[in-house]
Amino acid sequence: MKKPFCENNKEILEHVDLAKPVRAYRNLHRKCISIKQEGIVRCWATNVVLENCKFIVSKAGQKRVRDEKKKNVHAYVQGALAKVRETDTLTDDWTESYYNPYHTDTFQDVTTGQPITGAKFVDIWVDETDSSILSYKAQ
């Protein structure tokens, strides 16, 4: 069965169990975000907002990328799917973060370079040419 392609959290809700965390990561081949739950990709999306998030980097996967110079899925944001429109009124405390397996060991704040291990909310979007990870109350 072909995986569904979703534009936002409202559509993603139809394909995941809200009681369980999801893992979101940038899919380089499809130029989107893969939404994985219980080890299975449930859908793809262009935008997802998660809450109570952890930024996770597999050290073994990172080492393989660095050794082979070939990317693999080893870094992701894990959290619960946020309720639709829950973050619309949050205007302060958002920071942009990134992860580059060749230059950083962890996800990092774009402005300060400080490592980020978690956040209250994370808003991820990807399009044909760019992507962004915004974190609210990053830790």
Q: Outline where DSSP puts E strands in the chain.
A: 5-6, 22-27, 32-37, 40-45, 47-57, 75-81, 94-98, 108-109, 118-126, 131-136
Q: Which of 129, 74, 78, 128 is nearest to 104 (CA)?
A: 74
pLDDT tens string, the chain, 139 residues long: the values are 688 999 889 999 999 999 999 999 999 888 899 999 999 999 999 999 999 999 999 999 999 999 999 989 999 999 999 987 778 788 888 999 999 999 999 999 999 999 999 999 999 999 878 889 999 988 8
